[in-house]
Amino acid sequence: MAKKKTKKVAPKQLSPENYIRAKARTLPIVECIVEGDWENLGLCHAVVVRQHSNGNYTIGVYLLDTFCLGVKDSFYRFNCTVEEYMELREKFTANFGEFSTQDYEYTHNLIWGAVAYAADLGIAPHSSFNLTQYILEEDDEQQIPIQEFEYGCAGEPTLVVSSKSEARKYVGKLIESVGEDFSIIIDEDEYSPSEFMEAEFENKIDFTYSDRLNKRKTAMPATVYRYVTPDYDIDGELINGEKITNFVEMDFDKISKADIDAVLSLDANTLVSDVNTLLTKELGLFSRDLVEDEDYERMAAILLLMGHLGDERSLPYLLALLRQDEEFSEYYFCDILHEILVPVIYSVAKGNLAALFEYIKEPGLYVYLRSTVFEAVTMVAVEEHSRRAEVIEWYARVIDLYIENITNSDIYDATLAALAISDLMCLKAVELLPQIEKLYATNKVDLGVCGSYNDVVQYMKVGGSFDYKKQNIYDTFTQFQN
């Protein structure tokens, strides 16, 4: 009997993320550039460039806060051409000023030193660093000689933030690490000393240094928040009374499976009503400045219950949350904004994308809360493949809306549009490339978020991983407890 020929199976192509984790460190480093004057500003970008055998580049970009927070953000560009890299380099120079070429040893120590400095203060690097660290070499002093840099400002940690609520996220960690030997800087255009007069800090605030943040502002269209919050009811009656109140008031890290089972054993309709009432009360307490330092944990419990219930009757209440301002977002969510909100929005609103589109049309809302809606709609296509065409059509309407309102910053924001394009890249939404190209032709897309139009075209070919997925409520609580 003749042998059957064995069919050759093509090797599976790694996604950009998996390639970076597995192979980026095998690529040679061909350039490192660092933004100037970081010693005085305490904020800079550092860029590490590796070259593929085909001549293309994979690039890691790291936003460093050398005064306190370490790696404040990072992103990568995978397998981009020489022209695309030069375009990105030119955009960086135009937006942030001069960069200097440094050797890898200098750049490596600057980045990892910032990570170590922040770690000593109890502060972890931005979650994106979980991936982008693989574009760097391992931090091994046997392989990379140590260079010492001075971190902090004038010999002490200096927390530079844009709001009082953002400061609260880090102050406890700093006290635990260094006592009161640190300074806090808050943008003077938005806050006065009386707004951060907790006794132990009233002499620790320096309001003379907003230039560090203001120098980053560009001429791109940016939405100014101007929503006027209504008088939310804080006295709404709960059907389940103490049974639900005790649950959301618990120490979040101590909520157990038994606690969750107990609250889920309540009648579903009454539980939906109580969750909606609790969310409204939380909005009211914040708007009246009646929240305490740890009350943001209560919001997490409310939202995780809402996401589990997935009842569309909660949508008006969830949209009310999405109309809040930056200070609200920083207080309740800080760096877990998308992780906690996106699955909840998907669960509650997946059957009513029209309502989400109407929300996108509302003027003067906070950009980063609004951006969670894009990811939730993207999640519809990821979780429910049969609805991909519906999601693409929804995004087509959004892009048309943005092109029509390109000069109306109440509706159009260059960063928000770029975030939407980034989600479309994950979906490999090639159907929308003609509309995306028209949007780029306005020269009002934030290239620092999603790259050039050529970047978008190239990335559409491979797509990307989507960070959010449906989880059961027990795993979700465990995720945020850890």
358 and 306 together in one domain: yes
pLDDT at 205 exceeding the cut of 50: no
36 and 108 together in one domain: yes
290 and 404 together in one domain: yes
Tell me whether strands 183-186 and 205-206 are parallel, antiparallel or unpaired: parallel
Note the pLDDT tens digit of each residue in 52-85: 999 999 999 999 999 999 999 899 999 999 988 8
Where residue 260 falls among pLDDT bands split at 50, 70, 90?
Answer: very high
The pLDDT, as a whole number, for residue 348 is 97
466 and 371 together in one domain: yes
433 and 333 together in one domain: yes
Domain around 351:
242-481
338 and 433 together in one domain: yes
Note the pLDDT tens digit of each residue in 365-387: 999 999 999 999 999 999 999 99
Query: Hey, what are 318's tokens?
Result: 């969830």
% of residues, the chain, pLDDT over 70: 88
282 and 413 together in one domain: yes
The pLDDT, as a whole number, for residue 166 is 73
37 and 185 together in one domain: no
Give the number of domains in the chain. 3
Note the pLDDT tens digit of each residue in 271-310: 999 999 999 999 999 999 888 766 778 999 999 999 999 9
Quick check: 72 and 79 in contact, CB under 8 A? no
pLDDT at 163 exceeding the cut of 80: no
Residue 126 falls within a domain, yes or no?
A: yes
Quick check: 243 and 265 in contact, CB under 8 A? no
pTM beyond cutoff 0.85: no
Quick check: 357 and 391 in contact, CB under 8 A? no
Note the pLDDT tens digit of each residue in 464-482: 666 667 778 888 888 777 6
65 and 177 together in one domain: no
49 and 116 together in one domain: yes
474 and 357 together in one domain: yes
Note the pLDDT tens digit of each residue in 94-108: 777 788 999 999 999
Task: Give the C-alpha separation, 26 to 409, whole Å.
Answer: 45
Residue 337 falls within a domain, yes or no?
A: yes
392 and 440 together in one domain: yes
Task: Give the C-alpha separation, 353 to 351, whole Å.
Answer: 6
Residue 24 falls within a domain, yes or no?
A: yes
Residues 6+ apart with CB under 8 A from 358: none
